[in-house]
A = this chain, B = another copy of it.
Amino acid sequence: MILKATGAPFEEELIEVEATEGRQFSPQAKRAFITKLGEVSPNARLPVLWHNDLLVWDTASIAEYLNELYPEANLWPSDPVSRAIARSVTAEMHSCFLALRRECRMDIFLRTNFELQDEKSHNDVRRMVRLYSSLRKRFKDRGAFLLGPWSIADAFVLPEATRLRSYGISLREHGDEDGIAQAYSDTLLATPHYLEWEGLSAPVA
C-alpha cells in the first residue's frame, strides 16, 4: 500500500500457500511456507523489500526507507507535529494489540461473528476506537484519513480494520457511539489501492 502510494515501479513476489477445503493448512503446507519464509527473509517474517543490493526488512523500516527515497510522495504528514503523531500511531499499531491479534488471526476473506474471549482483546478494541476517534475529530478538516491526508499511519491501521471486519467485532460496542471510528475503518477498506491488493490476494478457485 505504501509502495503503491510512492508511484514507483515495483515487482511483487507473492508466496502461495496450498490450502485444503475450508481454507485450513496442512502440516506439510505450513512447513513448506516456513521454509520459504526462512529463504526470503532474515527473520522469517514478511514483507521484505529488495532495492538493488539492499534488503530492508520489517514494514516499519520499509515505510521509513520509502519515505526517504520518495519525499515527494508525502508518505508522512508534512508538519512535524502531525508527523510525530502519525509515527506514534504507526509504532503502536506495529507492536501492540497483541491479545486481539492472538485471538483473531488475520484472514482478510473470513467473515464471521466472533465473541472476544480475552478482556485484554476488548481493551485493545477500545483503545483503537479512542485512538481513531480522537484523531479523526482533530484532523477532520484536512481529509478523510487518520491525520487528514493518507499517510503511512493509515497503512498500519488497515490490517486491523480487516481483522475487525473479518471477526465481526463491533466498534460501537467498544465505545464508538458516534460511529466515527467505524466510518474511518470503512474508508480504509474502500480505497482503490486496498481493493486492488485484496483482489490479487484472493484464493485461487
Q: Is there contact, CB below 8 Å, between B87 and A43?
A: no
**Neighbour of A95 across the interface among B58, B64, B85, CB < 8 A:** B58
A127 within 8 A of B: yes
**Neighbour of A42 across the interface among B57, B81, B131, CB < 8 A:** B131
Q: Is there contact, CB below 8 Å, between A90 and B61?
A: yes
Q: Report whether over half of chain A's contact residues are helix, strand or loop; otherwise say mixed.
A: helix
CB distance from A57 to the nearest CB of B (A): 5
Q: Which residues of B contact A94 (CB under 8 A)?
A: 60, 91, 94-95
A45 within 8 A of B: yes
Q: Is there contact, CB below 8 Å, between B84 and A45?
A: no
Q: Which residues of B contact A58 (CB under 8 A)?
A: 87-88, 91-92, 95
C-alpha gap A81/B49 in the complex (Å)? 13
Q: Which residues of B contact A92 (CB under 8 A)?
A: 43, 57-58
CB distance from A155 to the nearest CB of B (A): 14
Q: Identify which of residues 36-92 in chain A touch chain B, using a CB-to-CB cut-off of 8 Å.
A: 42-43, 45, 54, 56-61, 64-65, 68, 80-81, 83-85, 87-88, 90-92
CB distance from A139 to the nearest CB of B (A): 14
Q: Which residues of B contact A98 (CB under 8 A)?
A: 98
